[in-house]
Chains A and B, each alone.
Chain A
Amino acid sequence: MAGLDPPVAAITQVMFSKSYPVSEAWRGFTFTRRAMLVGGTQMAIGGALVARMTYISIVDNERYVLESESNRLNLTLIPPRRGWIVDRRGKALADNRVSLRIDLIPDRVQDADKLVADLTRLLGLDADTVQRVRRDLKESAGYQPVAVADNLDEARFASVLVRLTDLPGVAPARGFARNYPAGAAVGHLIGYVGGPTAEEYQKARDPLYVTPGFKTGKDGLEKYFEPFLRGKPGAKRVEVTARGKVVRELGTQPDVQGNTLHLAIDGDLQDYAARRMGMESGAAVVIDCLNGDIVAFVSMPCFDPNSFSDGIGQKEWSWLNGDTDFKPLLNKATRGLYPPGSTLKPMAALAILEAGVDPGERITCPGGYRLGNRVFRCLGRHGPVDMPTAIEKSCNTYFYAMAHRIGYDRIAPAARALGLGEDFRISGANQRFGTIPDSAWKQRKLDQAWTASDSLNAVIGQGYVIVNPLQLAVMAARIASGKALYPSLVARKPELIKPLAYAPEHLAVVRSGMDRVVNGNGTAVRSRLELDGIKLAGKTGTAQVRGLASGSRGQSGARRYRDHGLFVCYAPTENPRYAAAVIIEHGMGGARAAAPVAKDIFTFLWDREKAMASLEAMETSWGGTIAQRMARDFAAFQGMPTRASEIILP
């Protein structure tokens, strides 16, 4: 400790005070002892490492094998082919067609900006798609494909195929897309499919929902029967690297196609009826009088479900949604509510017969009916009329008088028994079921007492009465068959159907009135069927859009104030087979607008060639088929030249 200051020396003296017998021999001994200690420690650590490895590779082996396999293997889902939707003869109303699609595998993309630019040029992508693809590429990681475009034509698909080596990350695929051969004719009947929304994925937590090409039912039968139609996805097991590169395919499990849905619809009739609606806005429902099957279920104009299934463009959507006059997005067959007008008179007649009135009793029609100091007008001066004549001539006075006599509370039950105001459980179509009023209803709804004039308005299908076309068709079918038919879009097993609780002779009176409407001297004589031995029976209706008080007759002026034209009917008159309801919005009269449509639809049921001939003549005057007219209207909406002239331009 020499050389250190005394205090430091003192401290170090304390710190290092332990007197060692330090010698060469001691150092050698200490070395050996400590070297053994170090060696022993090393051995112990080595032993611990062996124990650790044994634990990981033997005890935890199973867990790590699983983790290693889940690293290595990835499942790529193959979207299942949807089940077909077929008509009563097995003809496809919705099937699948091959869809050429381009996806991107994010992990294999090298220069995303350049790639998207190249694809935009090759495939002609619009700005919306480009933005979506960029966003998807950023958000999704790994091997999960990002959809770029589907339903490509061969030329565009091939233009990408030949450049595949210059486009790393592009995955062309042949998938399936939903196809509706009849296009707009089945739009409201079948609905459409579309890509799953983010909410649907959040709810289902199923990777299938983010697989490109997978579609779910969005409306109509497609939505209602989604689980039935979906099928089971196939899967491709692939070995992938940490960067998502596919090394090899280990096996493919094919998808299981969804079930085929058999409808009661007659596809040909559906198509014909839709086309026959022409330029008008309206609905037509045809029901099989044997079992209640809905054989045609038409609401026009309609969207083309094919364009929805391909992912509808913003412009096409605003075109459809913006048409508030013809409302192509509204299913008028079940969600359109109309005052039924005189089409309810056969139903009222049945109720009047039930009330004990003799059908032969005559009421003299002087052109109106006086209730207190108010005159309820009839459309003509019919003189003395009995019940069948009242139906034939659509005489308001007769029904005013009878309604006043028995009260509407005895008519409303008949309306309900024939299906009016009923919310039918038919698949896929959520309905607005309207109102069949009575005194209790008015008290509850409006807190007012029922008046005689309410009865008079209601009995001619005005006032508080509103119904949908499906209910009118059911009413016609029930009157025609005398059975409590229940409508169905889907084919059912035959079952015993109960008769209506009305006397057959009462029904016969009503039917004879309806027969005379068309075949006697009634309101729809111009719509007689030009067929041998098959006669149509029906009842016209002209429903006012504006209140009676307005004074306007609804036969002229702005379209939206014109009367609706309605027609309910069945055929043949002896032993009815089909019943129908047709409504033409703002058609100005049942006889004028609706009955001719019904006549052609019924002609088609027995003589297709004759019906087609008259339709084709009409379509020429209208400017082409539904698809042609829609394409032209859409082009006009876009302010663009039509497709045809576009092709001619250099």
Chain B
Amino acid sequence: MIPVPQTIRHYPWGLIATLVFIAGFGMLVLYSAAGGSFSPWAMTHGVRFGVFMTMALVIGFYVPLALIGRLAFIIYAAVALLLCGVEVMGAIAGGSQRWLNVGFMKLQPSELMKVAIVLACARFYSQLPPVETPRLRALWPALVLIGIPAALVMLQPDLGTALAIVAGGVTVMFLAGLPLWWFVSVGIAGAAALPVLYGMLHDYQQRRVLIFLNPEDDPLGAGYHITQSKIAIGSGGLDGKGFLNGSQSHLDYLPEGHTDFIFATMAEEWGLLGGLALGLAYYFLLRWSTRVALNAPTRFGKLTAAGLTMTIFFYIAINLMMVMGLAPVVGIPLPLFSHGGSSMMTIMLCVGIILAIQRDKSVGRKPFG
């Protein structure tokens, strides 16, 4: 074996390779979706990936986990303020603006909240004495932490992101050891309350749900997205129509072919094999982060890593279910694959923090991280 210097060997090459594969594959698909052109999507995708990959490595190697833990609530509060900010600005502008322009990209505070909620919840439960775990005191602060941003995001209205925030927070609550029957009973009550929740949705969201249940009802209207996405995936077959040969995306039948429905664009040209390759890469990513969670020395590290793993997984699962007609169209991009800065930043923040957790050996096994 060729001797590799220690400084180079300790970089997580496997992880980097996995991420480069996903983003690189994404670039190829974006190149094709633009009709065989690096602009407008593939180039910015690659540049952003480079920037955010560096950011993730910097966080992972130079930011101590303890610092992240101490700042967790402050980060949460800051992001919550930003969320309020866009809400107020949106109200003034008379529309539903969800982003702040920060120069090189449009920053969605709701994306940052996906990370912040996990940090805040993990911080809260890592500071909670074990005996308090089954008590009410373990419950309501977390519910408030989750409820405020979820409500703000629902107001935007952005159902997908709100669900992602809830999923990240609740996963941390679950892993923190809260009594199992709380979750079970809330689950049953939630199922019973579905019709009420449905009534609270906006008209267009209700229509999306209905269309999801029966897309053929409206093949040219709201069901168009799902129908065309399934046609793209299904017509790809085993090995696809070939690079640059996807008619669904090139002839504009597939809407949002470079963002939310990029998986369909990919599957049309690369087929089931492309889908399996991408799935395998996501599997490696999630396996890595889950292992970090299981092996983390601190409770904050464990909860954070597991919560962020869920955040990443939630993106992937909901997006894929959506493009394959198993979930309503909610507008969630595919991590590192779709063209879009905010989601890539969120994912790479997650990766950076998990990397920091992986490297956090020095702190030792303290009861309260």
**Using a CB–CB distance below 8 Å, which chain A residues touch chain B?**
1, 12, 15-16, 18, 20, 22-24, 26-28, 30-32, 34-35, 38-39, 42, 45-46, 49-50, 52-54, 56-58, 60-61, 63-65, 67-69, 71-72, 239-243, 247
CB nearest to A50 among chain B residues: B279
**Are the C-beta atoms of B177 and A34 separated by less than 8 Å?**
yes
In the complex, chain A residues whose CB is within 8 Å of the CB of B324: 49, 52-53, 56
Residues of chain B within 8 A (CB-CB) of A20 are: 133-134, 179
Residues of B within 8 A of A60 (CB): 234
The reply to whether B248 and A26 contact each other, CB–CB distance below 8 Å, is no
* B174 touching A241, Cβ below 8 Å: no
Contact with A along B293-310 (1 / 0, CB 8 A): 110000100110010001
A240 touches B251 (CB 8 A): yes
The answer on a CB contact under 8 Å between B253 and A46 is no
Q: Counting CB contacts under 8 A, is B198 at the interface? A: no
The smallest C-beta distance from B111 to any residue of chain A, in angstroms, reads 21
Given A22-B130, A32-B294, A64-B235, also A38-B171 (CB < 8 A): yes
A contact residues around B231 at 8 Å (CB): 64, 67-68, 71
Number of residues of chain B lying within 8 A (CB) of chain A: 52
Asked if B123 is at the interface (CB within 8 A of a chain A CB), the reply is no
Contact B131 A247 (CB under 8 A): no
CB pair B302–A31 under 8 Å, yes or no, is: yes
**Is B294 touching A35 in the complex (CB atoms < 8 A)?**
yes
Closest to B240 in A: A57
Contact between chains at A16 and B135 (CB < 8 Å): yes
Q: Does B43 contact A (CB under 8 A)?
A: no
Contact (Cβ within 8 A) A58 B252: no
Complex formed: what's the CA distance from A565 to B106 in Å?
94
> Once the chains bind, are B238 and A58 in contact (CB under 8 Å)?
yes
Residues 223-261 of B, flagged 1 when their CB comes within 8 A of A and 0 if not, give 000001011111111100000000110011100000000
Most buried by A among B134, B268, B321, B367: B134
CB of B67 within 8 A of chain A?
no
A23 touches B130 (CB 8 A): yes
CB contact under 8 A between A61 and B276, given known A27-B133, A243-B252: no
Q: When the two chains form the complex, which single residue of B131, B171, B237 contacts A22, counting CB atoms closer than 8 Å?
A: B131
Partner of B275, one of A39, A57, A240: A57
Question: Which residues of chain A are near B302, meaning CB under 8 Å?
Answer: 31, 35
List chain B residues, Cβ under 8 A from A27: 130, 133, 176-177, 299
B136 within 8 A of A: yes
B-side contacts of A242, CB under 8 Å: 251-253
CB-CB under 8 A from B238, the residues of chain A are 57-58, 61
Contact of B234 among A1, A35, A63, A243 (CB under 8 A): A63
Query: What A residues does B251 contact at CB under 8 A?
Result: 71-72, 239-242, 247
CB contacts (< 8 Å) of B130 on chain A: these are 22-24, 26-27
Query: Residue on A with the closest CB to B239?
Result: A57
Q: Give the nearest-CB partner of B233 in chain A.
A: A56
Q: Is B267 an interface residue (CB 8 A)?
A: yes
B293 x A56 contact (CB < 8 A): no
B321 neighbours in A (Cβ, 8 Å): 49
12 contacts between A and B (CB under 8 A): A16-B135, A16-B136, A38-B171, A49-B317, A49-B324, A53-B272, A57-B271, A58-B272, A61-B237, A61-B238, A71-B231, A243-B252
Q: Nearest chain A CB to B140's CB is how many angstroms away? A: 12
Docked Cα-Cα span, A46 to B316, in Å, equals: 9
Q: How close is A474's CB to chain B, nearest CB, in angstroms?
A: 61
Given A34-B177, A57-B236, A60-B234; A241-B317 close (CB under 8 Å) = no
Q: A24-B367, A57-B233, A57-B237 are in contact. Are A49 and B247 (CB under 8 A)?
A: no
Q: Which residue of B lies closest to A4 (CB)?
A: B136
A48 (CB) vs chain B CBs: closest residue: B326
Bound form: Cα–Cα A52–B233 in Å = 11
B313 CB-CB contact with A under 8 Å: yes
Contacts of A26 in B (CB 8 A): 130, 177
Of residues 107 through 163 on chain B, the ones whose CB sits less than 8 Å from some CB of chain A are: 130-131, 133-136
Across the interface, which residues of A come within 8 angstroms of B136, CB to CB? 12, 15-16
Known: A23-B130, A56-B230, A71-B251. 12 other contacts (CB 8 A): A20-B134, A22-B130, A26-B177, A31-B303, A35-B302, A42-B313, A56-B324, A64-B235, A67-B234, A67-B235, A241-B253, A247-B251
Classify the secondary structure of A's interface with B: helix
Collect the chain B residues with CB atoms within 8 Å of residue A50's CB: 275-276, 279
Q: A22-B130, A57-B275 are in contact. Are A39 and B233 (CB under 8 A)?
A: no
Q: Are A39 and B248 in contact (CB under 8 A)?
A: no
CB pair B253–A65 under 8 Å, yes or no, is no
Of B233, B252, B306, B326, the residue contacting A241 (CB under 8 A) is B252
CA distance A56 to B227 in the complex (A): 12
Whose C-beta in chain A lies nearest to the C-beta of B136? A12
Q: Verify if B100 is at the interface (C-beta below 8 Å from A).
A: no
B283 near A46 with CB under 8 A, answer yes
Interface pair B275/A53, CB less than 8 Å apart: yes
CB closest residue in chain B, given A39: B290
Closest Cβ of chain A to B121, distance in Å, is: 14
Task: Say yes or no: is B320 at the interface (Cβ < 8 Å to chain A).
Answer: yes
Which residue in A12, A38, A56, A241 is a CB contact (below 8 Å) of B310?
A: A38
Q: Is B74 an interface residue (CB 8 A)?
A: no
Nearest Cβ distance between residue A37 and chain B, in whole angstroms? 9
**Residues in B neighbouring A58, C-beta threshold 8 A:** 237-238, 272
Determine if B201 is an interface residue (Cβ-Cβ < 8 Å).
no
Which residues of chain A come closer than 8 Å to B171, judged between CB atoms? Answer: 38
The residue from A22, A34, A247 contacting B174, defined by CB atoms under 8 A apart: A34
B210 within 8 Å of A by Cβ?
no
Nearest residue (CB) in B for A243 is: B252
Cα distance A161–B236 in the bound complex, in angstroms: 42
Does B34 sit at the interface, judged by CB under 8 A? no
Inside 8 A of B133's CB, which chain A residues have their CB?
20, 22, 27
Interchain CA distance A24-B176 in the complex, whole Å: 11
Is B15 an interface residue, CB under 8 A from the partner?
no
* Nearest opposing residue in chain A for B248, CB measure: A68
Residues in chain B near residue A71, CB distance under 8 A: 228, 231, 247-248, 251, 253
Known contacts A35-B175, A38-B171, A53-B275; A64 and B230 CB within 8 A of each other: yes
| Closest Cβ–Cβ distance, residue A374 to chain B (whole Å) | 82
Cα–Cα distance between A24 and B302 once the two chains are bound (Å): 13
Chain A residues within an 8 Å CB radius of B134 = 16, 18, 20, 22
Cα-based distance from A72 to B290 in the complex (angstroms): 44
| Complex contacts, A12 vs chain B, CB 8 Å | 135-136
Contacts of B248 in A (CB 8 A): 68, 71
Residues from chain A with a CB closer than 8 A to the CB of B234 are 56-57, 60-61, 63-65, 67-68
A68 adjacent to B247 (CB under 8 Å): yes
Q: Report chain A residues within 8 Å CB of B299.
A: 27-28, 31
Q: Is B286's CB within 8 Å of the partner chain A? A: yes
Residues on the B chain within 8 Å of A239, using CB? 247, 251
Complex CA distance for A34 and B294, rounded to whole angstroms: 10
> Is A35 within 8 A of B253, CB to CB?
no
How far, in angstroms, from A20 to B178 measured CA to CA in the complex? 10
CB distance from B148 to the nearest CB of A (A): 24
Q: How far is the CA of A495 from the CA of B276 in the complex (A)?
A: 78
Given contacts A24-B130, A32-B294, A35-B175, contact A42 B236 (CB under 8 A): no
Contact indicator B306/A38 (Cβ below 8 Å): yes
B296 to chain A: closest residue by CB: A31
With a cutoff of 8 Å between Cβ atoms, the chain A residues found around residue B326 in the complex are 49, 52
Distance (Å) between the CB of B290 and the closest chain A CB? 5
Q: Which residue of A lies closest to B133 (CB)?
A: A22
| Residues of A close to B237: CB separation below 8 A | 57-58, 61, 65
| Distance A64 CA – B306 CA, assembled complex (angstroms) | 39
Q: Report the bound CA distance from A58 to B275 in whole Å.
A: 12
Closest Cβ–Cβ distance, residue B174 to chain A (whole Å): 6
**Whole-angstrom distance between the alpha carbons of A42 and B313 in the complex?**
7
- A330–B107 CA distance with the chains assembled, in angstroms: 79
**Most A CB within 10 A of own CB, among B268, B320, B321:** B320
B227 CB to closest chain A CB, in angstroms?
Answer: 8
Q: How far is the CA of A26 from the CA of B251 in the complex (A)?
A: 58
